[in-house]
Amino acid sequence: MAEMLRIAGGDMHCIGAYRAMPTGSCRGGLVIMQEIFGVNAHIRALVEGFAAAGYCAIAPALFDHIENDVELDYDSAGIARGRALIAELSLDDVIADVGSAANAIASAGKIGVVGYCWGGTIALLSAIRLGLPAVSYYGSRNVAWLDQACPAPLQFHFGANDASIPPEAIERHRKAYPHAEVHVYPAGHGFNCDLRADFDPASATLARQRTLEFLARHLGPSP
């Protein structure tokens, strides 16, 4: 079952969130962090896919702080608009949104975060600030935070052909967090998204398998 609901945002402004529940018992809860394109069809599909795998999953609509129901195209106009919107957001409020979303699914048991693109960096920050196990897909803004300690479990996914995340940046992740899993695929940026030109089915399938294995280790069945 999937539905839109309202949760308390970090600035005391209610924001939307797309939530999907598994048909059986929950293995845990997941907060899914959007790209710069909003909680669009791709993010909703990810939420539903994780629910099908047994997790209670929720994606907070972060842009609701500025404008409701934002869904942008994967083109130059969408990229420009998305970048402008995230520039208006407070990172403190966004991390508070993660906490609020986690509270909304607290009954699922242990909570983790999975994020993509900009959301991949929010996932890393959620691990640093909230201590949540996190999976970060191609977070090009991660490098700004690699000097901050993070004992929480981490898993990173990168494309070897991603011009926004060069090999030396990937290596910095390994050095900053020796305990983290770092996976690199023969793909470009956004390889997990079937709406992007860089979509790579084989890499996306392998990354999902590794993500589910990570989540099984660190979340497991609900209490």
Distance CA 59, CA 98 (A): 9
Parse the chain into domains and list their residue ranges: 2-218
Average pLDDT of every residue of the chain = 94
Report the pLDDT value the prediction gives residue 1, as an integer from 0 to 100: 75
Which region, left, alpha or beta, applies to residue 65 given φ > 0 means left and ψ of -120 to 50 means alpha? alpha
**Contact indicator for 54, 27 with CB cutoff of 8 Å:** yes
Q: Is residue 11's pLDDT more than 90? A: no
Q: Is residue 8's pLDDT more than 90? A: no
Q: Is residue 79's pLDDT more than 50? A: yes
Q: Which of 133, 117, 120 is nearest to 55 (CA)?
A: 133
Backbone angles phi, psi at 176, to 5 degrees: -70, -40
Q: At what angle do helices 118-130 and 91-104 cross, to 10 degrees?
A: 80
Mean pLDDT of 22-26: 90
% of the chain exceeding 90 in pLDDT: 91
- Say which CATH topology domain 2-218 has: Rossmann fold (3.40.50)
Q: Is residue 223's pLDDT more than 50? A: no
**Contact indicator for 145, 128 with CB cutoff of 8 Å:** yes
**Residues in contact with 45: Cβ distance below 8 Å, sequence separation at least 6, in sequence order:** none
Q: What is the pTM (predicted TM-score) of this model?
A: 0.95
User: How does pLDDT run across 30-57, given as a tens digit for each residue?
Assistant: 999 999 999 999 999 999 999 999 999 9
Q: Please provide the DSSP assignment of 95-157 as one string.
A: HHHHHHHHHHTGGGSSEEEEEETHHHHHHHHHHHHH---EEEES-TTGGGGTTS---S-EEEE
User: What CA–CA distances, in Å, run from 80 to 6, 34, 142?
Assistant: 27, 16, 20
Backbone angles phi, psi at 5, to 5 degrees: -135, 175
Centre a 10 Å sphere on the Cβ of residue 91 and count the other Cβ atoms it contains. 14
Distance CA 22, CA 32 (A): 15
- The tokens describing 71, both together, are 């869904």
